[in-house]
Protein backbone atom coordinates (compact mmCIF):
# COMPACT_ATOMS: atom_id res chain seq x y z
CA UNK A 1 0.00 0.00 0.00
CA UNK A 2 1.43 3.35 -1.06
CA UNK A 3 2.68 5.62 1.72
CA UNK A 4 4.11 8.49 -0.30
CA UNK A 5 3.83 10.35 -3.60
CA UNK A 6 7.20 10.85 -5.29
CA UNK A 7 7.01 14.01 -7.40
CA UNK A 8 9.82 12.88 -9.69
CA UNK A 9 10.58 10.50 -12.52
CA UNK A 10 14.13 10.05 -11.20
CA UNK A 11 15.03 6.36 -10.99
CA UNK A 12 17.74 7.26 -8.48
CA UNK A 13 15.28 8.82 -6.02
CA UNK A 14 12.85 5.94 -6.49
CA UNK A 15 15.62 3.45 -5.72
CA UNK A 16 16.79 5.39 -2.65
CA UNK A 17 13.28 5.50 -1.19
CA UNK A 18 12.82 1.81 -1.99
CA UNK A 19 16.07 1.15 -0.15
CA UNK A 20 14.46 2.38 3.08
CA UNK A 21 11.22 0.48 2.47
CA UNK A 22 8.89 3.22 1.26
CA UNK A 23 6.01 2.24 -1.06
CA UNK A 24 5.45 4.95 -3.65
CA UNK A 25 3.09 6.47 -6.15
CA UNK A 26 5.20 8.03 -8.91
CA UNK A 27 3.83 11.42 -9.97
CA UNK A 28 6.36 13.29 -12.14
CA UNK A 29 5.94 17.04 -12.38
CA UNK A 30 7.23 19.44 -15.01
CA UNK A 31 8.37 22.77 -13.60
CA UNK A 32 10.50 25.63 -14.85
CA UNK A 33 13.83 25.07 -13.07
CA UNK A 34 15.39 28.41 -14.04
CA UNK A 35 17.02 30.13 -11.05
CA UNK A 36 15.51 33.50 -10.19
CA UNK A 37 17.58 36.67 -10.42
CA UNK A 38 20.09 36.82 -7.54
CA UNK A 39 18.61 33.64 -6.01
CA UNK A 40 21.09 31.97 -3.66
CA UNK A 41 21.81 28.28 -4.43
CA UNK A 42 20.38 27.12 -1.07
CA UNK A 43 17.16 29.09 -1.67
CA UNK A 44 16.96 27.74 -5.22
CA UNK A 45 17.06 24.04 -4.27
CA UNK A 46 14.70 24.59 -1.31
CA UNK A 47 12.19 26.43 -3.53
CA UNK A 48 12.26 23.82 -6.29
CA UNK A 49 11.95 20.91 -3.86
CA UNK A 50 8.89 22.51 -2.24
CA UNK A 51 7.30 23.48 -5.58
CA UNK A 52 7.75 19.90 -6.82
CA UNK A 53 6.26 18.43 -3.62
CA UNK A 54 3.24 20.76 -3.77
CA UNK A 55 2.70 20.11 -7.50
CA UNK A 56 2.98 16.35 -6.96
CA UNK A 57 0.46 16.47 -4.11
CA UNK A 58 -2.00 18.47 -6.23
CA UNK A 59 -1.61 16.29 -9.32
CA UNK A 60 -1.80 12.85 -7.68
CA UNK A 61 -5.42 13.13 -6.55
CA UNK A 62 -4.84 11.18 -3.33
CA UNK A 63 -4.34 12.51 0.18
CA UNK A 64 -0.84 11.20 0.78
CA UNK A 65 2.30 13.22 1.56
CA UNK A 66 4.26 14.14 -1.56
CA UNK A 67 8.04 14.34 -1.68
CA UNK A 68 9.90 16.69 -3.99
CA UNK A 69 13.65 17.04 -4.27
CA UNK A 70 16.19 19.04 -6.22
CA UNK A 71 19.95 18.69 -6.46
CA UNK A 72 22.38 21.35 -7.64
CA UNK A 73 26.13 21.31 -8.07
CA UNK A 74 27.69 24.56 -6.86
CA UNK A 75 31.12 25.88 -7.81
CA UNK A 76 32.23 29.38 -6.77
CA UNK A 77 28.61 30.16 -5.74
CA UNK A 78 27.41 29.33 -9.28
CA UNK A 79 24.73 26.70 -9.93
CA UNK A 80 25.98 24.18 -12.48
CA UNK A 81 22.91 22.65 -14.08
CA UNK A 82 22.48 19.78 -16.51
CA UNK A 83 24.71 20.10 -19.58
CA UNK A 84 23.28 21.59 -22.76
CA UNK A 85 25.58 19.51 -24.99
CA UNK A 86 29.01 17.87 -25.11
CA UNK A 87 30.94 21.14 -25.08
CA UNK A 88 29.02 22.37 -22.06
CA UNK A 89 29.63 19.09 -20.19
CA UNK A 90 33.36 19.09 -21.00
CA UNK A 91 33.66 22.72 -19.91
CA UNK A 92 31.91 21.91 -16.61
CA UNK A 93 34.02 18.83 -15.89
CA UNK A 94 37.24 20.75 -16.57
CA UNK A 95 36.08 23.47 -14.17
CA UNK A 96 35.45 20.83 -11.48
CA UNK A 97 38.78 19.10 -12.20
CA UNK A 98 41.05 18.91 -9.15
CA UNK A 99 38.77 21.17 -7.10
CA UNK A 100 36.26 21.01 -4.27
CA UNK A 101 32.62 21.84 -4.96
CA UNK A 102 29.34 21.62 -3.10
CA UNK A 103 26.31 19.51 -3.87
CA UNK A 104 23.13 20.98 -2.40
CA UNK A 105 20.05 18.82 -2.23
CA UNK A 106 16.70 20.17 -1.14
CA UNK A 107 14.07 17.72 0.08
CA UNK A 108 10.49 18.74 0.79
CA UNK A 109 7.37 16.89 1.85
CA UNK A 110 3.95 18.47 1.44
CA UNK A 111 0.45 17.35 2.37
CA UNK A 112 -2.07 20.13 2.04
CA UNK A 113 -0.89 23.01 4.25
CA UNK A 114 1.63 20.85 6.11
CA UNK A 115 5.09 21.28 4.55
CA UNK A 116 8.64 20.51 5.66
CA UNK A 117 11.78 21.52 3.74
CA UNK A 118 15.44 20.82 4.40
CA UNK A 119 18.64 21.50 2.44
CA UNK A 120 21.71 19.30 2.83
CA UNK A 121 25.13 20.41 1.59
CA UNK A 122 27.88 17.90 0.82
CA UNK A 123 31.45 18.78 -0.20
CA UNK A 124 32.91 16.78 -3.07
CA UNK A 125 36.55 16.92 -4.17
CA UNK A 126 37.47 15.83 -7.70
CA UNK A 127 40.70 14.35 -8.99
CA UNK A 128 42.28 16.08 -12.02
CA UNK A 129 40.34 15.41 -15.26
CA UNK A 130 41.80 15.70 -18.76
CA UNK A 131 39.77 16.92 -21.73
CA UNK A 132 40.14 13.47 -23.33
CA UNK A 133 38.70 11.79 -20.22
CA UNK A 134 35.84 14.29 -20.08
CA UNK A 135 34.94 13.61 -23.73
CA UNK A 136 35.23 9.86 -23.23
CA UNK A 137 32.89 10.14 -20.26
CA UNK A 138 30.39 12.20 -22.30
CA UNK A 139 30.38 9.44 -24.93
CA UNK A 140 29.03 6.98 -22.34
CA UNK A 141 25.79 9.00 -22.19
CA UNK A 142 25.82 9.14 -18.39
CA UNK A 143 26.42 12.88 -17.81
CA UNK A 144 23.70 14.12 -20.21
CA UNK A 145 20.94 14.39 -17.58
CA UNK A 146 23.05 15.01 -14.48
CA UNK A 147 23.54 18.25 -12.56
CA UNK A 148 27.20 19.18 -12.80
CA UNK A 149 27.61 16.73 -15.73
CA UNK A 150 28.43 13.70 -13.57
CA UNK A 151 26.79 10.84 -11.69
CA UNK A 152 28.53 9.86 -8.46
CA UNK A 153 26.68 6.52 -8.36
CA UNK A 154 27.88 5.52 -11.83
CA UNK A 155 30.95 5.87 -14.00
CA UNK A 156 31.51 9.40 -12.68
CA UNK A 157 32.60 7.89 -9.35
CA UNK A 158 36.15 7.68 -10.76
CA UNK A 159 36.39 11.49 -10.57
CA UNK A 160 35.57 11.63 -6.85
CA UNK A 161 38.59 11.84 -4.59
CA UNK A 162 36.58 12.45 -1.42
CA UNK A 163 33.10 13.23 -0.09
CA UNK A 164 32.47 15.15 3.12
CA UNK A 165 28.81 14.76 4.02
CA UNK A 166 25.89 12.70 2.75
CA UNK A 167 26.66 10.36 -0.15
CA UNK A 168 22.96 9.70 -0.79
CA UNK A 169 22.37 13.47 -1.06
CA UNK A 170 24.88 13.60 -3.92
CA UNK A 171 23.00 10.75 -5.60
CA UNK A 172 19.78 12.74 -5.22
CA UNK A 173 18.18 12.33 -1.78
CA UNK A 174 19.69 12.67 1.72
CA UNK A 175 18.25 9.56 3.36
CA UNK A 176 18.87 10.39 7.04
CA UNK A 177 17.19 13.78 6.72
CA UNK A 178 14.42 12.37 4.50
CA UNK A 179 13.59 9.67 7.06
CA UNK A 180 13.37 12.34 9.78
CA UNK A 181 10.99 14.46 7.69
CA UNK A 182 8.85 11.44 6.79
CA UNK A 183 8.47 10.65 10.50
CA UNK A 184 6.82 14.08 10.87
CA UNK A 185 4.19 12.81 8.41
CA UNK A 186 3.78 9.51 10.31
CA UNK A 187 5.69 7.51 7.68
CA UNK A 188 8.06 5.01 9.22
CA UNK A 189 10.93 3.47 7.27
CA UNK A 190 11.58 -0.28 6.84
CA UNK A 191 7.91 -1.22 7.09
CA UNK A 192 7.88 -3.75 4.25
CA UNK A 193 7.41 -7.31 5.51
CA UNK A 194 10.32 -9.72 5.13
CA UNK A 195 9.99 -11.93 2.08
CA UNK A 196 11.03 -15.51 2.73
CA UNK A 197 11.80 -18.01 0.01
- For the chain, the average pLDDT equals 94
In a domain, 192, yes or no: no
Separation CA 13–CA 10 (nearest Å): 5
Give the pLDDT confidence of 88-102 residue by residue, as tens digits: 999 999 999 999 999
The pLDDT value given to residue 192: 53
pLDDT-derived band at 188, boundaries 50, 70, 90: confident
Separation CA 47–CA 147 (nearest Å): 17
Residue of 30, 70, 76, 77 marked active site: 70
In a domain, 191, yes or no: no
In a domain, 72, yes or no: yes
Give the pLDDT confidence of 161-172 residue by residue, as tens digits: 999 999 999 999
Give the pLDDT confidence of 51-109 residue by residue, as tens digits: 999 999 999 999 999 999 999 999 999 999 899 999 999 999 999 999 999 999 999 99
The pLDDT value given to residue 191: 65
DSSP-derived 3-state class of residue 54: helix
Look up the CATH number of the domain holding residue 145. 3.90.950.10
| Residue 98 CA to its chain's centroid (Å) | 23
pLDDT-derived band at 189, boundaries 50, 70, 90: confident
In a domain, 195, yes or no: no
- 158 has pLDDT over 60: yes
Separation CA 79–CA 120 (nearest Å): 15
- Count the domains in the chain: 1
The predicted model scores a pTM of: 0.91
In a domain, 132, yes or no: yes
In a domain, 197, yes or no: no
- 181 has pLDDT over 60: yes
Percent of the chain at pLDDT above 70? 96
In a domain, 99, yes or no: yes
The neighbour count for residue 161, using CB atoms within 10 Å, is 12
Q: Is 70 a catalytic residue?
A: yes
Separation CA 151–CA 38 (nearest Å): 27
Q: Residue 31: give the domain boundaries.
A: 4-184
- 190 has pLDDT over 90: no
In a domain, 165, yes or no: yes
Amino acid sequence: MAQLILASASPRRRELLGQIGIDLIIQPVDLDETPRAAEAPRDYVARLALEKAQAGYSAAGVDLPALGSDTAVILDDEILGKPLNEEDAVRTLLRLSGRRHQVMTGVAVAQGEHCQVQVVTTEVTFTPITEHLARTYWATGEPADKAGSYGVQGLGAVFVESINGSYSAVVGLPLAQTAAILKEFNIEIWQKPDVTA
